[in-house]
Amino acid sequence: MQLSPAMQKVLGEQVTLELEASMVYLQLSIQLDALDLPGMTRWMRAQSEEEQVHAAKFIQHCQDRDFAPQIGDIAAPKVSGSQPIDFFKAALAHEEKVSESIRNLYRTAQSEGDLDVLPLLHWFIDEQVEEESTISEIIGRLDHVADSGSGLLRIDSELGSRHPDIKADSE
């Protein structure tokens, strides 16, 4: 089934948004690296790479359906803050934006009667619930340690033990 013009539009926008998310995480990793937090830096860089995989999933779906999406303009990420919790709150805000976009994609698919895209969107809906939950938990932990340097370093160490997610690429 070919994509309707409405689906082409929203899927193309989603590709751009996923790549934007990758740039946001990359910027956050740079800022955390400047704070000498290598674990959080590594975690954010892994997130950046995962967002590129997400964009590739949408691109592949479009190409499989005879549509070549055009990547839109991606503005330089504007991230402010000085503490790790600020950067994770920025990450959560962006994930919430992505989640809403995917819900809108789902609504468009329903209105267009596009059943073929639904398995992909179901995967992304589950993924977004997991992403928001994970980041919310990190924010909660950072809030608990507040100004405790040893607590912050422990969280940094734990986040640094993250291995690259191959699940995003294999599902």
Structural domains of the chain, with CATH: 5-163 (1.20.1260.10)
Task: Report the half-sphere exposure of 60 (CA within 13 A, side-chain side).
Answer: 9
User: Annotation-wise, does 51 bind a ligand?
Assistant: yes
d(CA 66, CA 5): 12
User: Annotation-wise, does 171 bind a ligand?
Assistant: no
Cβ-count burial of 112 within 10 angstroms (0-12 exposed, 13-18 middle, 19+ buried)? Answer: middle
Neighbouring C-beta atoms of residue 168, cutoff 10 Å: 17
d(CA 93, CA 13): 18
Amino acid 162: pLDDT: 75
Amino acid 47: pLDDT: 96
**Paired tokens of 101:** 């976009």
Amino acid 146: pLDDT: 84
Amino acid 79: pLDDT: 85
First vs last Cα of the chain: how many Å apart? 22
Amino acid 169: pLDDT: 45
Amino acid 170: pLDDT: 42
User: Annotation-wise, does 122 bind a ligand?
Assistant: no
User: Annotation-wise, does 54 bind a ligand?
Assistant: yes
Q: CB-based contacts of 8: which residues, under 8 Å, 6+ apart? A: 62, 67, 69
The parts of the chain modelled with pLDDT lower than 50 are 166-171
Stated pTM of the model: 0.91
Query: pLDDT tens-digit profile of 129-145?
Result: 999 999 999 999 999 99
